[in-house]
Chains A and B, each alone.
Chain A
Amino acid sequence: MNTAFWLITACLLMLVGMIWLALAKPVHWKQVLGAQANYGRHPVKALQRAGAISLLLSALACLAADHPSMAVLVWIMLLALSTFITAMILSWRPHWLQPLITVRRLTQS
Protein backbone atom coordinates (compact mmCIF):
# COMPACT_ATOMS: atom_id res chain seq x y z
CA MET A 1 0.00 0.00 0.00
CA ASN A 2 1.35 3.43 -0.72
CA THR A 3 2.18 6.20 1.71
CA ALA A 4 -0.72 8.45 0.67
CA PHE A 5 -3.26 5.71 1.46
CA TRP A 6 -1.88 5.18 4.97
CA LEU A 7 -1.67 8.91 5.65
CA ILE A 8 -5.29 9.49 4.59
CA THR A 9 -6.33 6.49 6.71
CA ALA A 10 -4.41 7.89 9.69
CA CYS A 11 -6.05 11.28 9.20
CA LEU A 12 -9.58 9.85 9.04
CA LEU A 13 -9.05 7.51 12.00
CA MET A 14 -7.69 10.38 14.04
CA LEU A 15 -10.61 12.66 13.17
CA VAL A 16 -13.23 10.00 13.93
CA GLY A 17 -11.41 9.12 17.14
CA MET A 18 -11.34 12.71 18.33
CA ILE A 19 -15.02 13.16 17.46
CA TRP A 20 -15.93 10.08 19.52
CA LEU A 21 -13.82 11.35 22.42
CA ALA A 22 -15.58 14.71 22.19
CA LEU A 23 -19.00 13.05 22.12
CA ALA A 24 -18.13 11.19 25.31
CA LYS A 25 -18.42 14.56 27.06
CA PRO A 26 -22.03 15.33 28.08
CA VAL A 27 -21.88 18.94 26.88
CA HIS A 28 -20.92 17.95 23.32
CA TRP A 29 -23.33 14.98 23.35
CA LYS A 30 -26.13 17.47 24.02
CA GLN A 31 -24.74 19.88 21.43
CA VAL A 32 -25.05 17.21 18.71
CA LEU A 33 -28.32 15.57 19.74
CA GLY A 34 -30.14 18.62 21.06
CA ALA A 35 -33.41 17.68 22.78
CA GLN A 36 -32.93 14.00 21.82
CA ALA A 37 -30.03 13.83 24.27
CA ASN A 38 -32.55 13.59 27.12
CA TYR A 39 -33.86 10.29 25.75
CA GLY A 40 -31.75 7.16 25.89
CA ARG A 41 -28.41 6.43 27.48
CA HIS A 42 -25.20 8.38 26.86
CA PRO A 43 -22.65 5.63 26.09
CA VAL A 44 -19.68 7.42 27.66
CA LYS A 45 -17.42 4.39 28.13
CA ALA A 46 -18.15 2.98 24.68
CA LEU A 47 -17.37 6.32 23.03
CA GLN A 48 -14.17 6.72 25.02
CA ARG A 49 -13.06 3.19 24.12
CA ALA A 50 -13.92 3.67 20.44
CA GLY A 51 -12.05 6.98 20.42
CA ALA A 52 -8.97 5.54 22.07
CA ILE A 53 -8.87 2.54 19.71
CA SER A 54 -9.29 4.83 16.72
CA LEU A 55 -6.37 6.99 17.87
CA LEU A 56 -4.26 3.87 18.37
CA LEU A 57 -5.12 2.59 14.89
CA SER A 58 -4.26 6.02 13.53
CA ALA A 59 -0.82 5.71 15.13
CA LEU A 60 -0.35 2.32 13.46
CA ALA A 61 -1.35 3.81 10.11
CA CYS A 62 1.25 6.57 10.62
CA LEU A 63 3.87 3.92 11.35
CA ALA A 64 2.87 2.06 8.19
CA ALA A 65 3.36 5.25 6.17
CA ASP A 66 6.66 6.57 7.53
CA HIS A 67 9.89 5.97 9.41
CA PRO A 68 8.98 5.81 13.17
CA SER A 69 10.73 9.12 13.98
CA MET A 70 8.64 10.87 11.29
CA ALA A 71 5.44 8.94 12.18
CA VAL A 72 5.55 10.34 15.73
CA LEU A 73 5.58 13.90 14.41
CA VAL A 74 2.79 13.24 11.89
CA TRP A 75 0.62 11.65 14.61
CA ILE A 76 1.09 14.55 17.02
CA MET A 77 0.31 17.13 14.35
CA LEU A 78 -2.75 15.15 13.17
CA LEU A 79 -3.90 15.17 16.79
CA ALA A 80 -3.80 18.99 16.73
CA LEU A 81 -5.54 19.25 13.36
CA SER A 82 -8.29 16.76 14.25
CA THR A 83 -8.98 18.36 17.63
CA PHE A 84 -9.30 21.76 15.99
CA ILE A 85 -11.59 20.45 13.22
CA THR A 86 -13.73 18.63 15.81
CA ALA A 87 -14.06 21.81 17.88
CA MET A 88 -15.01 23.84 14.80
CA ILE A 89 -17.63 21.29 13.66
CA LEU A 90 -19.09 21.21 17.18
CA SER A 91 -19.29 25.01 17.17
CA TRP A 92 -20.73 25.64 13.74
CA ARG A 93 -22.22 22.39 12.37
CA PRO A 94 -22.82 19.96 15.27
CA HIS A 95 -25.56 18.09 13.39
CA TRP A 96 -22.93 16.80 10.96
CA LEU A 97 -21.79 14.45 13.71
CA GLN A 98 -25.13 12.68 14.18
CA PRO A 99 -24.27 9.86 11.74
CA LEU A 100 -21.28 8.91 13.91
CA ILE A 101 -23.58 8.50 16.91
CA THR A 102 -25.96 6.47 14.81
CA VAL A 103 -23.11 4.11 13.92
CA ARG A 104 -22.36 3.67 17.61
CA ARG A 105 -26.03 3.05 18.39
CA LEU A 106 -26.35 0.50 15.61
CA THR A 107 -23.32 -1.37 16.86
CA GLN A 108 -24.80 -1.41 20.33
CA SER A 109 -28.25 -2.64 19.28
Chain B
Amino acid sequence: MPLHGAMVMVTALVLLLGGCGGGTMNSVEVRPPAKGLLHYLQQAGQMTNVSDRGYTVTETAEEGQPESGKEASLLLQVRNPAGQPVDEFAEDMTKLMHLIVVSKDLSSFQHLHPTYEGEGRFRVKVTFPHGGPFLLVSEFMPDGKGLTVHKAWMNALGTEPDPTALVASGSEAVVSNGIEIKLSAMPEVGEFKAGEMAMLNFSLSKAGTGERIVLEPYLGTFGHCVILDENANQYVHVHAAAEMSTGSSVMFHTEFPKAGTYKLWAQFQYRGEVITAPYVVRVNK
Protein backbone atom coordinates (compact mmCIF):
# COMPACT_ATOMS: atom_id res chain seq x y z
CA MET B 1 0.00 0.00 0.00
CA PRO B 2 2.69 2.63 0.90
CA LEU B 3 4.48 1.58 -2.27
CA HIS B 4 1.40 2.09 -4.32
CA GLY B 5 0.88 5.47 -2.70
CA ALA B 6 4.41 6.53 -3.58
CA MET B 7 3.91 5.55 -7.22
CA VAL B 8 0.74 7.56 -7.38
CA MET B 9 2.67 10.50 -5.93
CA VAL B 10 5.38 10.26 -8.60
CA THR B 11 2.78 10.13 -11.34
CA ALA B 12 0.94 13.07 -9.83
CA LEU B 13 4.20 15.04 -9.69
CA VAL B 14 4.97 14.46 -13.33
CA LEU B 15 1.47 15.63 -14.21
CA LEU B 16 1.78 18.62 -11.89
CA LEU B 17 5.08 19.67 -13.41
CA GLY B 18 3.61 19.26 -16.86
CA GLY B 19 0.80 21.55 -15.82
CA CYS B 20 3.07 24.32 -14.57
CA GLY B 21 3.83 25.80 -17.96
CA GLY B 22 5.65 28.83 -16.59
CA GLY B 23 8.11 26.82 -14.56
CA THR B 24 11.18 27.53 -16.65
CA MET B 25 14.27 27.35 -14.52
CA ASN B 26 16.69 30.23 -15.07
CA SER B 27 20.14 31.01 -13.90
CA VAL B 28 20.21 33.47 -11.03
CA GLU B 29 22.95 35.19 -13.01
CA VAL B 30 20.65 35.62 -15.99
CA ARG B 31 17.58 36.58 -13.98
CA PRO B 32 18.48 37.73 -10.48
CA PRO B 33 15.53 36.91 -8.21
CA ALA B 34 13.21 39.75 -7.24
CA LYS B 35 12.19 38.06 -4.02
CA GLY B 36 13.59 35.63 -1.49
CA LEU B 37 16.08 35.80 1.33
CA LEU B 38 19.11 36.74 -0.74
CA HIS B 39 17.19 39.47 -2.50
CA TYR B 40 16.06 40.83 0.84
CA LEU B 41 19.60 40.89 2.15
CA GLN B 42 20.88 42.49 -1.04
CA GLN B 43 18.22 45.17 -0.88
CA ALA B 44 19.86 46.57 2.20
CA GLY B 45 22.88 47.34 0.03
CA GLN B 46 20.91 48.87 -2.84
CA MET B 47 20.96 52.55 -3.36
CA THR B 48 17.23 52.90 -3.92
CA ASN B 49 15.89 55.88 -2.02
CA VAL B 50 18.71 55.84 0.48
CA SER B 51 17.84 57.95 3.48
CA ASP B 52 19.67 61.02 4.72
CA ARG B 53 20.12 59.30 8.12
CA GLY B 54 19.15 62.57 9.78
CA TYR B 55 22.07 64.42 8.19
CA THR B 56 21.36 67.75 6.55
CA VAL B 57 23.07 69.68 3.80
CA THR B 58 22.40 73.39 3.45
CA GLU B 59 23.18 74.73 0.01
CA THR B 60 23.80 78.44 -0.29
CA ALA B 61 24.71 80.33 -3.41
CA GLU B 62 27.46 82.75 -2.46
CA GLU B 63 26.46 85.61 -4.75
CA GLY B 64 22.73 85.52 -3.97
CA GLN B 65 20.19 83.54 -5.95
CA PRO B 66 21.86 81.96 -8.98
CA GLU B 67 20.93 83.17 -12.46
CA SER B 68 20.49 80.95 -15.46
CA GLY B 69 23.47 80.75 -17.78
CA LYS B 70 25.87 82.23 -15.22
CA GLU B 71 28.33 80.21 -13.20
CA ALA B 72 27.35 80.20 -9.53
CA SER B 73 29.47 79.14 -6.60
CA LEU B 74 27.58 76.96 -4.14
CA LEU B 75 28.58 76.27 -0.58
CA LEU B 76 27.36 73.00 0.88
CA GLN B 77 27.43 72.57 4.64
CA VAL B 78 26.95 69.01 5.95
CA ARG B 79 25.64 68.67 9.51
CA ASN B 80 25.02 65.58 11.62
CA PRO B 81 21.60 64.87 13.20
CA ALA B 82 22.69 66.93 16.24
CA GLY B 83 23.30 69.93 13.99
CA GLN B 84 27.09 69.92 14.26
CA PRO B 85 29.32 70.14 11.19
CA VAL B 86 30.59 66.74 10.07
CA ASP B 87 34.34 66.48 9.79
CA GLU B 88 34.77 62.86 8.80
CA PHE B 89 34.00 61.72 5.28
CA ALA B 90 34.92 58.50 3.54
CA GLU B 91 35.45 58.20 -0.19
CA ASP B 92 32.52 56.85 -2.17
CA MET B 93 33.55 55.79 -5.65
CA THR B 94 36.78 57.85 -5.51
CA LYS B 95 35.10 61.08 -4.34
CA LEU B 96 34.12 62.51 -0.96
CA MET B 97 30.90 63.91 -2.39
CA HIS B 98 28.84 63.43 -5.50
CA LEU B 99 26.35 66.15 -6.39
CA ILE B 100 23.64 65.48 -8.94
CA VAL B 101 21.89 68.59 -10.30
CA VAL B 102 18.69 67.94 -12.25
CA SER B 103 16.07 70.41 -13.46
CA LYS B 104 12.50 69.80 -12.37
CA ASP B 105 11.46 68.79 -15.89
CA LEU B 106 14.42 66.38 -15.95
CA SER B 107 15.76 67.97 -19.13
CA SER B 108 19.07 68.99 -17.63
CA PHE B 109 21.47 66.71 -15.74
CA GLN B 110 24.86 67.32 -14.17
CA HIS B 111 27.05 65.04 -12.06
CA LEU B 112 29.57 67.15 -10.12
CA HIS B 113 32.17 66.63 -7.43
CA PRO B 114 32.35 69.42 -4.88
CA THR B 115 35.75 70.02 -3.28
CA TYR B 116 36.10 69.56 0.44
CA GLU B 117 37.24 72.54 2.46
CA GLY B 118 37.07 71.06 5.98
CA GLU B 119 34.51 71.31 8.78
CA GLY B 120 31.80 69.72 6.69
CA ARG B 121 32.02 72.40 3.98
CA PHE B 122 32.09 71.63 0.28
CA ARG B 123 32.26 74.10 -2.59
CA VAL B 124 31.21 73.62 -6.20
CA LYS B 125 30.66 75.72 -9.31
CA VAL B 126 27.38 75.13 -11.11
CA THR B 127 25.85 76.72 -14.20
CA PHE B 128 22.09 76.35 -14.32
CA PRO B 129 21.10 76.18 -18.00
CA HIS B 130 17.71 77.84 -17.46
CA GLY B 131 15.52 79.29 -14.74
CA GLY B 132 13.22 77.36 -12.40
CA PRO B 133 13.60 74.75 -9.69
CA PHE B 134 16.53 72.33 -9.68
CA LEU B 135 16.95 69.26 -7.53
CA LEU B 136 20.32 68.98 -5.80
CA VAL B 137 21.13 65.46 -4.63
CA SER B 138 24.27 65.08 -2.54
CA GLU B 139 25.75 61.67 -1.77
CA PHE B 140 28.42 61.18 0.88
CA MET B 141 29.55 58.77 3.61
CA PRO B 142 29.81 60.65 6.91
CA ASP B 143 31.20 59.50 10.28
CA GLY B 144 31.98 55.94 9.23
CA LYS B 145 28.36 55.39 8.18
CA GLY B 146 27.17 54.02 4.88
CA LEU B 147 26.09 56.02 1.90
CA THR B 148 23.88 58.97 2.80
CA VAL B 149 21.76 60.81 0.30
CA HIS B 150 20.33 64.29 0.87
CA LYS B 151 17.90 66.04 -1.46
CA ALA B 152 17.17 69.76 -1.69
CA TRP B 153 15.65 72.14 -4.21
CA MET B 154 17.16 75.37 -5.47
CA ASN B 155 15.60 78.01 -7.68
CA ALA B 156 17.51 79.65 -10.49
CA LEU B 157 16.48 83.05 -11.85
CA GLY B 158 15.64 83.24 -15.52
CA THR B 159 13.05 82.05 -17.93
CA GLU B 160 11.66 78.62 -17.29
CA PRO B 161 11.18 76.38 -20.33
CA ASP B 162 7.60 75.36 -21.20
CA PRO B 163 6.68 72.22 -19.33
CA THR B 164 6.90 69.16 -21.54
CA ALA B 165 5.59 65.78 -20.55
CA LEU B 166 8.15 63.05 -20.28
CA VAL B 167 7.70 60.59 -23.16
CA ALA B 168 9.14 57.11 -22.95
CA SER B 169 11.95 56.85 -25.47
CA GLY B 170 12.08 53.08 -25.47
CA SER B 171 15.36 51.50 -26.38
CA GLU B 172 16.38 53.72 -29.28
CA ALA B 173 20.10 54.23 -29.57
CA VAL B 174 21.50 57.48 -28.19
CA VAL B 175 24.55 59.20 -29.68
CA SER B 176 26.75 61.19 -27.33
CA ASN B 177 30.29 62.48 -28.04
CA GLY B 178 30.44 60.39 -31.22
CA ILE B 179 29.63 57.19 -29.35
CA GLU B 180 26.46 55.25 -30.03
CA ILE B 181 24.86 53.75 -26.93
CA LYS B 182 22.32 50.97 -27.27
CA LEU B 183 20.13 49.88 -24.38
CA SER B 184 18.87 46.35 -24.04
CA ALA B 185 17.18 45.14 -20.92
CA MET B 186 15.72 42.20 -19.12
CA PRO B 187 12.76 42.34 -18.85
CA GLU B 188 12.42 44.18 -22.17
CA VAL B 189 12.38 47.99 -22.09
CA GLY B 190 8.74 48.99 -21.57
CA GLU B 191 7.98 45.88 -19.55
CA PHE B 192 9.66 46.91 -16.32
CA LYS B 193 7.67 46.28 -13.18
CA ALA B 194 7.77 48.32 -10.00
CA GLY B 195 9.76 46.71 -7.21
CA GLU B 196 11.25 44.03 -9.45
CA MET B 197 14.79 43.59 -10.56
CA ALA B 198 15.63 45.05 -13.95
CA MET B 199 18.90 44.58 -15.78
CA LEU B 200 20.00 47.38 -18.03
CA ASN B 201 22.71 46.58 -20.50
CA PHE B 202 24.38 49.35 -22.50
CA SER B 203 26.49 48.47 -25.55
CA LEU B 204 28.78 51.20 -26.77
CA SER B 205 30.39 51.55 -30.18
CA LYS B 206 31.65 54.32 -32.48
CA ALA B 207 28.67 56.06 -34.11
CA GLY B 208 28.52 55.41 -37.84
CA THR B 209 31.27 52.80 -38.06
CA GLY B 210 30.04 50.57 -35.25
CA GLU B 211 33.67 50.01 -34.25
CA ARG B 212 34.20 48.44 -30.83
CA ILE B 213 35.52 50.73 -28.15
CA VAL B 214 37.12 50.03 -24.81
CA LEU B 215 35.82 52.16 -21.98
CA GLU B 216 37.96 53.55 -19.20
CA PRO B 217 36.89 53.20 -15.61
CA TYR B 218 34.72 56.12 -14.55
CA LEU B 219 34.74 57.04 -10.87
CA GLY B 220 35.90 53.65 -9.75
CA THR B 221 33.66 51.48 -11.91
CA PHE B 222 32.63 50.83 -15.52
CA GLY B 223 29.73 53.24 -15.32
CA HIS B 224 27.20 55.06 -13.19
CA CYS B 225 23.47 55.24 -13.75
CA VAL B 226 21.26 57.80 -12.06
CA ILE B 227 17.52 57.20 -12.16
CA LEU B 228 14.75 59.66 -11.22
CA ASP B 229 11.01 59.43 -11.62
CA GLU B 230 8.97 62.21 -13.27
CA ASN B 231 8.19 63.86 -9.92
CA ALA B 232 11.81 63.61 -8.82
CA ASN B 233 10.70 61.63 -5.75
CA GLN B 234 12.21 58.25 -6.50
CA TYR B 235 15.97 58.45 -6.71
CA VAL B 236 18.26 55.57 -7.54
CA HIS B 237 21.98 55.60 -8.22
CA VAL B 238 23.51 52.33 -9.34
CA HIS B 239 27.01 51.30 -10.27
CA ALA B 240 27.95 48.92 -13.05
CA ALA B 241 27.84 45.22 -12.20
CA ALA B 242 31.55 44.71 -12.82
CA GLU B 243 31.33 40.94 -13.27
CA MET B 244 28.74 41.39 -16.02
CA SER B 245 30.49 44.19 -17.84
CA THR B 246 33.21 44.30 -20.48
CA GLY B 247 35.02 47.20 -22.10
CA SER B 248 32.21 47.95 -24.50
CA SER B 249 29.14 46.64 -22.74
CA VAL B 250 28.11 47.72 -19.27
CA MET B 251 25.38 46.20 -17.16
CA PHE B 252 23.45 47.71 -14.29
CA HIS B 253 21.17 45.81 -11.92
CA THR B 254 18.49 48.02 -10.55
CA GLU B 255 14.99 48.23 -9.26
CA PHE B 256 12.39 50.91 -10.01
CA PRO B 257 10.70 51.52 -6.64
CA LYS B 258 7.26 52.55 -7.96
CA ALA B 259 5.26 52.59 -11.18
CA GLY B 260 5.62 55.67 -13.38
CA THR B 261 7.83 57.30 -15.96
CA TYR B 262 11.52 57.47 -15.16
CA LYS B 263 14.44 59.22 -16.73
CA LEU B 264 17.80 57.57 -16.44
CA TRP B 265 21.23 58.87 -17.23
CA ALA B 266 23.94 56.33 -17.85
CA GLN B 267 27.47 57.69 -17.63
CA PHE B 268 30.68 56.22 -18.98
CA GLN B 269 34.17 57.44 -19.72
CA TYR B 270 35.99 57.11 -23.03
CA ARG B 271 39.31 58.77 -23.83
CA GLY B 272 39.10 61.04 -20.83
CA GLU B 273 35.63 62.32 -21.67
CA VAL B 274 32.43 61.51 -19.84
CA ILE B 275 29.62 60.23 -22.01
CA THR B 276 26.08 60.71 -20.71
CA ALA B 277 23.24 58.76 -22.28
CA PRO B 278 19.71 59.76 -21.23
CA TYR B 279 16.71 57.45 -21.63
CA VAL B 280 13.09 57.72 -20.59
CA VAL B 281 11.37 54.48 -19.63
CA ARG B 282 7.97 53.49 -18.41
CA VAL B 283 7.57 51.28 -15.35
CA ASN B 284 4.35 49.34 -14.83
CA LYS B 285 2.65 48.33 -11.60
Q: Do A and B bind each other?
A: no
Interface residues of A (CB under 8 A from B): none
Interface residues of B (CB under 8 A from A): none
